[in-house]
A and B are shown apart, each in its own frame.
Chain A
Amino acid sequence: TQLLEQSPQFLSIQEGENLTVYCNSSSVFSSLQWYRQEPGEGPVLLVTVVTGGEVKKLKRLTFQFGDARKDSSLHITAAQPGDTGLYLCAGGSGGSNYKLTFGKGTLLTVNP
């Protein structure tokens, strides 16, 4: 069974601060996705990374896939209250039996 460990589990910061959350596994994934989930809603896809060492930027969010494709990080610059939510990483197993394995998430609260 492939497991994804996310850290920290909870993070509370002030508006304007920077933060990094992590997603780690002992397994290799063919792709890694990040989602954000707001209360009462389903997760929404933010980004997909597929190449080891890949870095993608989405405005103030920077996503990196580890060289060995076992880990990933999400860095937010100058966090805003609108960034509040549950951040989930998900690893893709690829192949003909494609499915995603989700971590339990990091619950981020950005205080104004």
Chain B
Amino acid sequence: DAGVIQSPRHEVTEMGQEVTLRCKPISGHDYLFWYRQTMMRGLELLIYFNNNVPIDDSGMPEDRFSAKMPNASFSTLKIQPSEPRDSAVYFCASNFALGRVGGYTFGSGTRLTVV
């Protein structure tokens, strides 16, 4: 298995532009998570899906952020309009096990810089 695949690896955009981050989870994994990592705040859960359905989006910072999972093999995280404070590394992770024994498999992340 190729693991969790994220694209792009790096994204530099100007303030106000729309940014779309993409994720392909591991086949058979029924949970998908989007995290944001910064030096100040560490890893923060933004939203997660179970069987393509959003379960908890309480971590999404504001209405500028949206996430979709149209099918079991693809998810997007969109920021519109982007702001410099959105600069961070965004990780997607997937998991197949409900409950306490499942470990996440993370992608390599997308480093977003908003200038």
Cβ contact within 8 Å between A92 and B43: no
User: How many Cβ-Cβ contacts under 8 Å join chain A to chain B?
Assistant: 60
* A100 contact set on B, CB distance < 8 A: 45, 104
* A66 contact set on B, CB distance < 8 A: none
Cβ contacts A81-103/B at 8 Å (1 or 0 each)? 00000001000101101111111
How many residues of chain B get a CB closer than 8 Å to chain A's CBs?
Answer: 25
Cβ contact within 8 Å between A30 and B100: yes
B56: which of A44, A99, A101 is its contact (CB, 8 Å)?
A99
Cβ contact within 8 Å between A42 and B107: yes
Within 8 A of B (CB), among A28-80: 30-31, 33, 40-45, 48, 50
Complex: chain B residue closest to A40, CB-CB: B108
Given contacts A30-B99, A48-B103, A94-B100, contact A42 B109 (CB under 8 A): yes
Cβ contact within 8 Å between B99 and A42: no
Given contacts A88-B43, A103-B42, contact A98 B106 (CB under 8 A): no
* B41 contact set on A, CB distance < 8 A: 104
Distance from A41 Cβ to chain B, minimum over Cβ atoms (Å):
5
Complex: chain B residue closest to A93, CB-CB: B100
Complex: chain A residue closest to B41, CB-CB: A104
Complex: chain A residue closest to B105, CB-CB: A45
Distance from B33 Cβ to chain A, minimum over Cβ atoms (Å):
7
Cβ contact within 8 Å between A50 and B100: yes
Given contacts A42-B107, A43-B106, A103-B42, contact A31 B55 (CB under 8 A): no
- The answer to whether the Cβ of B98 comes within 8 Å of any Cβ in the partner chain is yes
A-B residue pairs in contact (CB < 8 Å), sample of 24: A30-B99, A41-B108, A42-B4, A42-B91, A42-B93, A42-B106, A42-B109, A43-B43, A44-B106, A45-B103, A45-B104, A45-B105, A88-B43, A94-B100, A95-B99, A97-B55, A98-B31, A98-B100, A99-B33, A99-B56, A100-B45, A100-B104, A102-B35, A104-B43
Enumerate chain A interface residues (CB-CB to B < 8 A).
Answer: 30-31, 33, 40-45, 48, 50, 88, 92, 94-95, 97-105
